[in-house]
Chains A and B, each alone.
Chain A
Amino acid sequence: MQTTVLKRFIQLGLAIIIAGPLLLLLSYWWTVDGELWQHILKYQFLHLLLNSFVLLVGVGLGTSILGIGLAWVTYRYRFTGSGFLTGAFILPLAIPAYVQGFIYLGIADVSGPIQTWLRTTVPGIGFFDARNVFGVIWVMSWVLYPYVYLLTRQAFAKLDKSQIEVAKLAGFSNTKIFFRLIFPMIRPGWMAGLTLVWMEALADFGTVSLFGFDTFTTAIYKTWFDFYSLATAAQLSSVLMLIAFLLLWWERRSENRILHESRITLWEPIILKGKAEKFVSTLSWLLFLAALGVPLTQLIIWSSQIPDQAWSQLADPLANTLILAGLSALIITILAYLQSIINYRNPDSFMENIVPVTKLGYALPGTVVAVATMLWFSQIENVLVDGLGWDILISGTLAGLICAYLIRFFSLASQSLVDSFARMQSTVNDAAKSLGASPWRRFRQIIWPLTRPGALAAILLVSVEVIKELPATLLLRPFGWDTLALKVYQWTAEAMWIEASAPALILILTGLLPLWLFRPKEESNA
Chain B
Amino acid sequence: MKKLLTLAVTTTLAMASTADPLVIYSERNEQLIKPILDRYSEVSGVQYELLIDKSAPLIAKLKAEGKRTPADVLITVDAGNLWHAANEGVLQSINSKILEEKVPAELQDPENNWFALTVRARTIVFHKDRVNAADLSTYEALADEQWKGRLCLRTSKKVYNQSLVGSMISRLGEKRTMEVVSGWVANLATEPTSSDTKALDALLAGQCDVALVNTYYFGRKLKADPNLPLEIFWPNQQTSGVHINVSGAGVTQHSDQPEAAIKFLEWMVSDEAQAMYASMDMEFPVVAGAKLDPIVESWGSFKADSNPIYKAGEYQRKAVMLMDAARYK
Chain A interfacial positions (CB closer than 8 Å to B): 39, 43-44, 109-111, 115-116, 119, 127, 129, 131, 209-212, 214, 218, 221-222, 224-228, 230, 319, 323, 367, 370-371, 374-375, 377-378, 381, 385, 391-399, 471, 474-475, 477-481, 486, 490-491, 493-496
**CB contact under 8 A between A475 and B207, given known A110-B201, A319-B3:** no
Does any Cβ of A come within 8 Å of B329's Cβ?
yes
Q: Is the CB of A385 within 8 A of B16?
A: yes
Are the CB atoms of B56 and A224 closer together than 8 Å?
yes
- Interface membership of B112, Cβ < 8 A: no
> In whole angstroms, what is the CA distance A5 to B142 when docked?
70
Interface string of B180-211 (1 = CB under 8 A from A): 00000000001111111110011011110000
Contact B11 A478 (CB under 8 A): yes
Given A111-B201, A212-B194, A398-B12: A230 in contact with B60 (beta carbons within 8 A) = yes
B173 interface hit (Cβ, 8 Å): no
Q: How far is the CA of A14 from the CA of B239 in the complex (A)?
A: 62
Task: Decide if B155 is an interface residue (CB 8 Å cutoff).
Answer: yes
Residue numbers in A under 8 Å from B196 (CB-CB): 495
Q: Which residues of B contact A110 (CB under 8 A)?
A: 190, 201-202, 205, 207
With the chains together, A478 CA to B12 CA distance in Å?
Answer: 9
How many residues of chain B get a CB closer than 8 Å to chain A's CBs? 61
With a CB–CB cut-off of 8 A, which chain A residues contact B66? 378
Q: Are A212 and B324 in contact (CB under 8 A)?
A: no
Task: Give the chain A neighbours of B3 by CB distance below 8 A.
Answer: 319
Establish whether residues B11 and A397, one from each chain, have CB atoms under 8 Å apart when the complex forms. yes
Residue of B nearest to A402 (CB): B12
Expressed in whole angstroms, the Cα–Cα distance for A395 and B70 within the complex equals 11
* Interface contact A212-B193, CB-CB below 8 Å: yes
Chain B positions 7-32 with a Cβ under 8 Å from a chain A Cβ:
7-8, 11-17, 23, 29-32
Across the interface, do B64 and A378 meet the contact criterion of CB distance under 8 Å?
yes
**Complex Cα spacing A215 to B235, Å:** 35
Residues of the B chain whose Cβ atoms lie less than 8 Å from the Cβ of A230: 56, 60
B174 → chain A closest CB, angstroms: 14
Q: How far, in angstroms, from A218 to B157 measured CA to CA in the complex?
A: 9
The residues of A that contact B17 with a CB separation of less than 8 Å are 391
Q: Which of B42-75 contact A (CB under 8 A)?
A: 49-57, 60-61, 64-66, 68, 70
User: Is B317's CB under 8 angstroms from A228's CB?
Assistant: yes
Contact B324 A129 (CB under 8 A): no
Q: A110-B201, A222-B157 are in contact. Are A475 and B65 (CB under 8 A)?
A: no
Q: Please name all residues of chain B whose beta carbon is closer than 8 Å to the beta carbon of A323 when the two chains form the complex.
A: 4
Name the residue among A131, A214, A471, A477 with the largest chain B CB count within 10 angstroms.
Answer: A131
State the CA gap A516–B54 with chains docked (Å): 34
Kindly provide the distance from the CB of B312 to the nearest chain A CB, expressed in whole angstroms. Answer: 12
Q: Verify if B252 is at the interface (C-beta below 8 Å from A).
A: no
Given contacts A43-B325, A378-B65, A397-B12, contact A127 B198 (CB under 8 A): no
Enumerate 10 A-B pairs (CB-CB under 8 Å) in ascending A order.
A119-B205, A211-B194, A212-B192, A377-B64, A393-B16, A397-B13, A398-B7, A398-B8, A477-B51, A479-B23
- How many Å from the CB of B120 to the closest CB on chain A? 13
B260 at the interface (CB under 8 A from A): no
Residues of B near A398 (CB, < 8 A) are 7-8, 11-12
| Chain B interface (Cβ < 8 Å from any Cβ of A) | 3-4, 7-8, 11-17, 23, 29-32, 49-57, 60-61, 64-66, 68, 70, 84, 87, 155, 157, 159, 162, 190-198, 201-202, 204-207, 217, 316-317, 320-321, 324-325, 329
B7 touching A116, Cβ below 8 Å: no
Structural contact, B162 and A371, CB atoms closer than 8 A: no
Most buried by A among B53, B55, B66: B53
Judge whether A226 and B64 touch: CB under 8 Å: no
Interface of B is mostly: helix
When chains A and B are docked, how far (Å) is the Cα of A57 from the Cα of B317?
Answer: 33
A228 touches B316 (CB 8 A): yes
Q: Known contacts A111-B204, A395-B65, A475-B57: does B324 contact A43 (CB below 8 Å)?
A: yes
Closest to B320 in A: A226
Interface centre among B11, B191, B206, by most chain A C-beta atoms within 10 angstroms, is B11
Chain A min CB distance to B322 (Å):
10
- Per the bound structure, the CA–CA distance linking A224 and B155 in Å amounts to 16
C-alpha gap A224/B157 in the complex (Å): 11
With A129-B190, A474-B57, A478-B11 given, is the CB distance from A212 to B64 under 8 Å?
Answer: no
A225, B320: Cα distance in complex, Å: 11
Q: Is the CB of B84 within 8 A of A397?
A: no
Q: B205 touching A370 by the CB < 8 A rule?
A: no
Task: Give the docked Cα–Cα distance between A44 and B61 (Å).
Answer: 28
A396→B70 contact, CB < 8 A: yes
| 20 further contact pairs, Cβ within 8 A, besides A129-B191, A397-B12, A397-B13 | A129-B190, A212-B191, A212-B194, A224-B56, A226-B157, A228-B87, A228-B317, A230-B56, A367-B57, A371-B57, A374-B61, A374-B64, A398-B8, A471-B57, A474-B57, A475-B53, A478-B7, A479-B23, A495-B196, A495-B197
> Contact between B16 and A391 (Cβ–Cβ < 8 Å)?
yes
Please state if A474 and B52 are interface contacts (CB–CB under 8 Å). Answer: yes
Q: Are A225 and B197 CB-contacts (below 8 A) given A392-B16, A398-B8, A494-B29?
A: no
What is the bound-complex CA distance between A371 and B31, given in angstroms? 25
Q: Which of A226, A396, A480, A490 contacts B159 (CB 8 A)?
A: A226
- Contact of B68 with A393 in the complex, beta carbons under 8 Å: yes
Q: Is the CB of A490 within 8 A of B194?
A: no
- The CA-CA distance from A471 to B205 in the complex, in Å, is 33
Pair A225/B56 contact, Cβ less than 8 Å:
yes
Give 8 nearest A-B pairs by CB, closest first: A495-B195, A495-B197, A378-B64, A111-B201, A111-B205, A479-B49, A478-B11, A43-B324
* Closest B residue, CB atoms, query A229: B317
Smallest Cβ-Cβ distance to A115: which chain B residue:
B205
